[in-house]
Amino acid sequence: MSLSRREWLASMLGAPLVATLAATGCDAPVTRRRELAGALRGPSMEHGHLLRNAATTSAEAQSAASGPLHDVLVLGGGPSGLSAAWELLRRGVRDVRVLELEREAGGTSAFGTSAVTNYPWGAHYLPSPFRENADLIALLREMGVVTGLSSDGDPVVDEACLVREPDERHFYRGFWYAGLYPYAGASPEDIAQLERFKRRMGEFAALRDARGRRAFAVPVDESSDDSETTQLDRMSADAWLRRESFTSPRLRWLCEYACRDDFGMGLMTTSAWALVHYYAARMRDATSEAQDLITWPEGNGAIVKHLTRAVGDRIASSF
């Protein structure tokens, strides 16, 4: 049986597209498609709707809904919920229940397994903690990742978990370039603005309020709430860049990337505070580079794995 050109295109591209192209008088592009196995991960609509319908599937979920009262219920078994439960247990609160919507805990820090290696589904690294990040250091000590303190009080991280030279690159008009900043073709003015931007972020990293708190810290709660810094939350990243005369399209692209990477939003909808936090919170002081990164084969799923083990059968899935 021979196929007409239109039938062949339909079989390759899908009939609706060919119909559209035919209607517009265009020739369909001949594209080679390769089916990739897999599925999009994301919240389970099916189980989310159970909440809307006030229904439950498993005996476990039913008993969680109508069963005995607990001292603390934690909703969501991502890193936030799991670490809340972990901290409660550390403080002696034993009757904690974590209710998770999905089959497995982990949220966007979940990981998968294969015959070759474990691998992250989402979050893949953690900046090394500063000495003042006591809770994170306690967790990483428990995991065996922080092995001690240096003579000047900084946490010592197991070398096997450190990435000292993360190899980032970007793809532009068909070519890969090293790093995240598009240096190729940058003008002297572009470079001057980039350097000025780095210095500005260094100043924010070094900024301390009257109580000695970092202006921009991780966790966010430890950042200063002085109006000097929080006023940046009342203007967009775009407005701040313009106010500071950061007009270089390449620099603006880099900042846009940062906003999309961490907040899923662009320069117009991300606050100036959040943009500055993205850079300044990761630097120890004005001149240092960003902290070394900690990672595992399963990315931050290693933390989920550890916390899940610690919280144990106090986690109830809706499945």
Ligand X SMILES: Cc1cc2nc3c(=O)[nH]c(=O)nc-3n(C[C@H](O)[C@H](O)[C@H](O)COP(=O)(O)OP(=O)(O)OC[C@H]3O[C@@H](n4cnc5c(N)ncnc54)[C@H](O)[C@@H]3O)c2cc1C
| Shortest Cβ 122–ligand X spacing (Å) | 4
Read off the tokens for 207: 């900024």
Alpha helices in 163-211 (DSSP H): 188-206
Smaller CB distance to ligand X: residue 124 or 306?
124
Contacting residues for 264 by C-beta, under 8 A, at least 6 apart: none
Distance CA 292, CA 128 (A): 6
| Shortest Cβ 314–ligand X spacing (Å) | 14
Distance CA 293, CA 282 (A): 10
| Shortest Cβ 108–ligand X spacing (Å) | 4
The footprint of ligand X on residues 83-102 (CB under 6 A) is: 99-102
**Beta strand 96-100 with 315-317: parallel, antiparallel or unpaired?**
parallel
173 contacts 183 by C-beta, under 8 angstroms: no
Interaction of residue 108 with ligand X, rule CB under 6 A? yes
| Shortest Cβ 300–ligand X spacing (Å) | 6
Per-residue contact string for residues 38-67; x = within reach of ligand X by CB under 6 A: -----x-------x----------------
The footprint of ligand X on residues 14-43 (CB under 6 A) is: 43
243 contacts 267 by C-beta, under 8 angstroms: no
Per-residue contact string for residues 203-242; x = within reach of ligand X by CB under 6 A: ----------------------------------------
Q: DSSP assignment, residue 30?
A: -
Distance CA 255, CA 263 (A): 12
Number of residues that bind ligand X (CB under 6 A): 23
Phi, psi values for residue 63, rounded to 5°? -70, -30
Interaction of residue 122 with ligand X, rule CB under 6 A? yes
The footprint of ligand X on residues 254-313 (CB under 6 A) is: 300
Interaction of residue 124 with ligand X, rule CB under 6 A? yes
Residues near ligand X, by CB under 6 A = 43, 51, 75-81, 99-102, 105, 107-109, 122-126, 300
